[in-house]
């Protein structure tokens, strides 16, 4: 077993869980909430697109890509902060 | 060998840069041949044959007799390249050929697939991939079997994997057969076996290592083949070089045209397998039912993404946990490049057909004029398109024009009047998409059967040479079964693809997630979760699809994973809590999985 004491593990896992929940909240908004109101959003025009359609064709997708890159960075800094990141 | 391999890894950008350049030169060469008067058929054959030979050569060069190279590509695939390989692994023949057509016909309701098939990667990154990488498993059932312990849990995971992946792989082999038969002018049944031969050449000798490097090559071909025609068409129609950002006006214009030409009226005739356009393009549903259908489909595709073993196992090949996380982000980036192009393609095709101010339009023109068009004749001849003058006025109405969704990708170059070289390129791209996914799926099945069923359950003393021979024999046998099923043409491409996601999420989603995120989850719970999830999902699918049952709350056969996964979650929690908590060792194992540092739980040569 890797030599990391229990309190460090717990602190690290609490932060990791927090990040996971934040990530999934953003994910939920752009996976479900936005599209539930697509009809209303369509009355707004964005870059020439009806916004409801735009979100399903591009908007949510762009946010997912950025979200995962951000998640990977944040998680790595959490790991480093608690000294449990891999040796480079 | 290891020295050469190290060099290869260091030189990846150069190797694939040269490869991409070579492919572009090949396209130019084909364009020159076309100008010189070489026939369209020959160009199609050259495109498909040339690319398949390249993949087979990569497969041959990556052959190996080492267990960890065969199962996890030696765990040294850099994040970006693993992202490309995952992109090819992910984007199937259905994504490539059917997605744009689905959007063309389904409008906003169909966009649920686009959102679901991309957002699922957020779940993969946040809940699964880094932890499975730290675990150090070879296959997904390997994780289930070790985390929960016991052969029954492992066996059930193998069962779910085989059902989900086999459903999916027949559709892929079907697609390779369709494309090969058209491009090489051979019967479909022969095309299926030709496709299988190509797929096996890529995967059999080198396992995961060979599949990885061919998938990167296939990604490059498929993305060029998808994006180039769209950019070309966009330029022709005056939407500029980055069509993905500029087609908003085209959507608005389609919205105006739809009411003028009467989109929404039901046709009075029907042709098997063909559809007339009846759904308005960008309008989203206003009632509860359509909103609910949208979000439930999104959820099924996302949870399915995060449970499909052929995707998860791609992240076992990265050099580190950190690289696994980054690799998920790169995967989605490379997938995004195709998925945000598909709606643009659907839009341009639609505009070309509907807008009377464009030379390519057909709606509102005289039937005799439209019937004389080359592409109409060509695709009618193979029954992928039909025209009928139902009201006898001699003018083509929107309700009198029927086609298959696949036409949007396959025929668009011809509709737009692009040179044939583009059609050849599209055929090569579709072939790459279908082959790469089929490779990943066949390997996932064969690896689970050889590693988990044969080595872990039946003969734990088998030596590595023996294990790898068994793995290869299984690959051939499963491939042959899939090709045989595909040659019987039992399912339409897309129905089967959605089912694979539902099967995977029914049986595997919660056992995988809770295995990392809930220490209290134990063997009995996982067994109950997998068994009852799969059973409930399958029973529900049968009831609504063939049993004549009215779906509950609009949860139809495309969404049966919701029933399966809910049953799986509830039984897993109830049974886990009703039985003893996992032993000390298992709890420590979960603790280890949660931190990136240190040795993987399973040793590298288990």
Entry pTM: 0.94
pLDDT tops 80 at residue A67: yes
Chain A residues whose beta carbon lies within 8 Å of the beta carbon of residue B114: 56-57, 61
Search chain A and give the residue with CA nearest B586.
Answer: A1
User: Which of B597, B599, B600, B601 is the best substitution to test chain A (most A C-beta atoms within 10 A)?
Assistant: B597
Does residue B95 form part of some domain?
Answer: yes
Q: Distance (Å) from the C-alpha of residue A78 to the closest C-alpha of chain B?
A: 10
* Domain limits for position B324: 2-250+282-347+418-594
Cα angle value B59/B65/B69 (rounded, 5°): 70
pLDDT of residue B176: 85
Contact between A9 and B594 using a beta-carbon 8 Å cutoff: yes
Cα angle value B579/B582/B586 (rounded, 5°): 165
Nearest CB to B595: which of A9, A38, A60? A9
User: Which of A19, A31, A60, A81 is the best substitution to test chain B (most B C-beta atoms within 10 A)?
Assistant: A31
Contact between B325 and A72 using a beta-carbon 8 Å cutoff: yes
A with B: how many residue pairs have Cβ under 8 Å apart?
A: 168
Residue ranges of E strands in B134-262 = none
pLDDT of residue B265: 87
Search chain B and give the residue with CA nearest A33.
Answer: B295
Q: Distance (Å) from the C-alpha of residue A37 to the closest C-alpha of chain B?
A: 8
Provide ipTM, 2 decimals: 0.97
Question: CA-to-CA distance for B126 and B541, rounded, in angstroms?
Answer: 29
pLDDT of residue B4: 46
Dihedral over Cα of B484, B489, B493, B498: its sign: negative
Taking CB atoms within 8 Å and a gap of at least 24, the contacts of B13-16 are: B16/B81, B16/B216, B16/B217, B16/B220
Does residue B474 form part of some domain?
Answer: yes
Q: Distance (Å) from the C-alpha of residue B336 to the closest C-alpha of chain A?
A: 7
Which portions of chain B are predicted below pLDDT 50? 1-4, 494
Q: Distance (Å) from the C-alpha of residue A67 to the closest C-alpha of chain B?
A: 8
Question: CA-to-CA distance for B518 and B226, rounded, in angstroms?
Answer: 42
Q: Which residues, numbered 44 to 63 in chain A, qualify as contacts with chain B under a Cβ-Cβ cut-off of 8 Å? A: 45-50, 52-54, 56-58, 60-62
Q: Distance (Å) from the C-alpha of residue B600 to the closest C-alpha of chain A?
A: 10
β-bridge mates for residue A49, sequence order: A46
Q: Distance (Å) from the C-alpha of residue A11 to the closest C-alpha of chain B?
A: 11
**Which residues have a Cβ under 8 Å from the Cβ of B606 and sit 6 or more positions away?**
B136, B138
Search chain B and give the residue with CA nearest A58.
Answer: B340
**pLDDT tens-digit map of B270-279:** 888 788 999 9
Does residue B389 form part of some domain?
Answer: no
Contact between B284 and A45 using a beta-carbon 8 Å cutoff: no
Interface check B336 vs A, CB under 8 A? yes
How many domains are there within chain B? 1
Interface check A12 vs B, CB under 8 A? yes
pLDDT of residue B436: 95
pLDDT of residue B407: 83
The answer to whether residues B218 and B55 touch, using CB atoms and an 8 Å cutoff, is yes
Chain A residues whose beta carbon lies within 8 Å of the beta carbon of residue B341: none
Q: Distance (Å) from the C-alpha of residue B603 to the closest C-alpha of chain A?
A: 13
Helix (H, G, I), strand (E, B) or coil at A4: coil
Residue A27 neighbours by CB distance under 10 Å: 24
Search chain A and give the residue with CA nearest B339.
Answer: A57
Chain A residues whose beta carbon lies within 8 Å of the beta carbon of residue B351: none
Where residue B288 sits, what CATH number does that domain have?
1.20.1730.10
Residue of B234, B258, B210, B287 lying closest to B55 (CA atoms)? B210
Question: CA-to-CA distance for B269 and B142, rounded, in angstroms?
Answer: 53
pLDDT of residue B9: 85
Dihedral over Cα of B18, B19, B24, B30: its sign: positive
CA–CA distances in Å: residue B50 to residues B44, B46, B198, B440: 10, 6, 12, 21
Q: Look up tokens 């364009």; give the residue.
A: B31
pLDDT of residue B357: 87
pLDDT of residue B2: 41
Contact between A31 and B121 using a beta-carbon 8 Å cutoff: no
CA–CA distances in Å: residue B358 to residues A40, B196, B344, B362: 31, 42, 17, 9
Does residue B352 form part of some domain?
Answer: no
Interface check A77 vs B, CB under 8 A? no
Q: What is the mean pLDDT of chain A?
A: 95
User: Which of B111, B124, B243, B284 is the best substitution to test chain A (most A C-beta atoms within 10 A)?
Assistant: B284
The answer to whether residues B75 and B324 touch, using CB atoms and an 8 Å cutoff, is no
pLDDT of residue B3: 39
Search chain B and give the residue with CA nearest A21.
Answer: B126
Q: Distance (Å) from the C-alpha of residue A22 to the closest C-alpha of chain B?
A: 10
Chain A residues whose beta carbon lies within 8 Å of the beta carbon of residue B126: 19-20, 23-24, 27, 71
Interface check B599 vs A, CB under 8 A? yes
pLDDT tops 90 at residue A74: yes
Residue B291 neighbours by CB distance under 10 Å: 18
Nearest CB to A71: which of B108, B126, B252? B126
Helix (H, G, I), strand (E, B) or coil at B359: coil
Chain A residues whose beta carbon lies within 8 Å of the beta carbon of residue B244: 58
């Amino acid at each position: 077993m890797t030599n990391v004491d229990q309190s460090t593990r717990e602190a690290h896992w609490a932060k990791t869980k927090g990040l996971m929940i934040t990530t999934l909240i953003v994910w939920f908004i752009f996976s479900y909430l936005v599209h539930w109101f697509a009809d209303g959003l369509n009355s707004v025009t964005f870059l020439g697109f009806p916004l409801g359609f735009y979100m399903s064709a591009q908007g949510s997708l762009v946010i997912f890509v950025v979200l995962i890159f951000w998640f990977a960075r944040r998680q790595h800094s959490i790991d480093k902060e608690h000294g449990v990141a891999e040796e480079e | 060998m290891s020295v050469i391999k190290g060099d290869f890894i260091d030189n990846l950008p150069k190797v694939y840069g040269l490869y991409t350049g070579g492919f572009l030169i090949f396209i130019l060469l084909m364009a020159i041949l076309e100008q010189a008067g070489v026939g369209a058929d020959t160009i199609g054959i050259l495109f498909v044959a040339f690319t398949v030979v390249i993949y087979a050569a990569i497969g041959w060069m990556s052959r190996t007799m080492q267990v960890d190279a065969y199962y996890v590509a030696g765990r040294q695939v850099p994040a970006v390249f693993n992202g490309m390989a995952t992109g090819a692994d992910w984007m199937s023949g259905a994504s490539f050929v059917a997605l744009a057509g689905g959007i063309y016909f389904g409008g906003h309701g169909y966009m649920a697939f686009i959102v679901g098939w991309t957002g699922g990667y957020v779940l993969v990154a946040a809940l699964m991939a880094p932890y499975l990488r730290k675990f150090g498993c070879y296959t997904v059932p390997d994780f289930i079997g070790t985390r929960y312990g016991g052969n029954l849990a492992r066996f059930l995971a193998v069962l779910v994997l085989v059902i989900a992946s086999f459903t999916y792989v027949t559709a892929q082999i079907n697609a390779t057969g369709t494309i090969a038969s058209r491009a090489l002018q051979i019967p479909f049944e022969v095309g299926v076996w030709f496709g299988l031969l190509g797929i096996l050449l890529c995967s059999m000798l080198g396992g995961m290592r060979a599949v990885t490097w061919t998938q990167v090559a296939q990604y490059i071909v498929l993305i060029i083949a998808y994006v180039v025609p769209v950019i070309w068409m966009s330029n022709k129609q005056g939407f500029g070089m980055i069509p993905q950002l500029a087609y908003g006006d085209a959507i608005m214009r389609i919205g105006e045209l739809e009411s003028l030409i009467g989109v929404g009226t039901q046709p009075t005739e029907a042709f098997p397998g063909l559809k007339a356009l009846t759904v308005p393009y960008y309008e989203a549903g206003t009632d509860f039912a359509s909103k609910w259908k949208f979000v439930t489909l999104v959820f099924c595709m996302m949870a399915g993404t995060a449970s499909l073993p052929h995707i998860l196992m791609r992240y076992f090949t990265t050099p580190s946990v950190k690289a696994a996380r980054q690799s998920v982000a790169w995967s989605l980036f490379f997938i995004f490049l195709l998925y945000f192009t598909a709606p643009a393609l659907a839009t341009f095709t639609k505009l070309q057909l509907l807008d009377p101010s464009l030379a390519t339009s057909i709606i509102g023109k005289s039937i005799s004029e439209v019937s004389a068009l080359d592409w109409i004749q060509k695709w009618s001849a193979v029954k992928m398109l039909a025209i009928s003058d139902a009201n006898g006025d001699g003018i083509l109405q929107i309700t009198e024009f029927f086609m298959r969704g696949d036409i949007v990708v396959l025929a668009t170059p011809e509709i737009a009047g692009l040179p044939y070289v583009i059609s050849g390129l599209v055929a090569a791209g579709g072939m790459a998409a279908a082959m790469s996914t089929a490779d990943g799926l066949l390997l996932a099945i064969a690896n689970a059967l050889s590693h988990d069923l044969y080595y872990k359950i039946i003969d734990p003393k088998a030596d590595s040479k023996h294990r790898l021979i068994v793995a290869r024999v299984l690959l051939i046998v499963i491939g042959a079964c899939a090709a045989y099923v595909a040659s019987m043409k039992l399912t339409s491409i897309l129905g089967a693809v959605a089912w694979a996601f539902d099967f995977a999420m029914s049986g595997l989603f919660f056992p995988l997630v809770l295995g990392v995120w809930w220490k209290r989850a134990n063997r009995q719970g996982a067994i109950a979760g997998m068994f009852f999830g799969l059973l409930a999902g399958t029973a529900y699918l049968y009831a609504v699809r063939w049993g004549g049952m009215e779906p509950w709350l609009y949860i139809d056969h495309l969404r049966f994973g919701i029933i399966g996964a809910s049953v799986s979650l509830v039984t897993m929690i109830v049974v886990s809590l009703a039985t003893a908590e996992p032993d000390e060792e298992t709890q420590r194992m979960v603790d280890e999985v949660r931190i990136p540092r240190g040795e993987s739980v399973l040793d590298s040569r288990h």
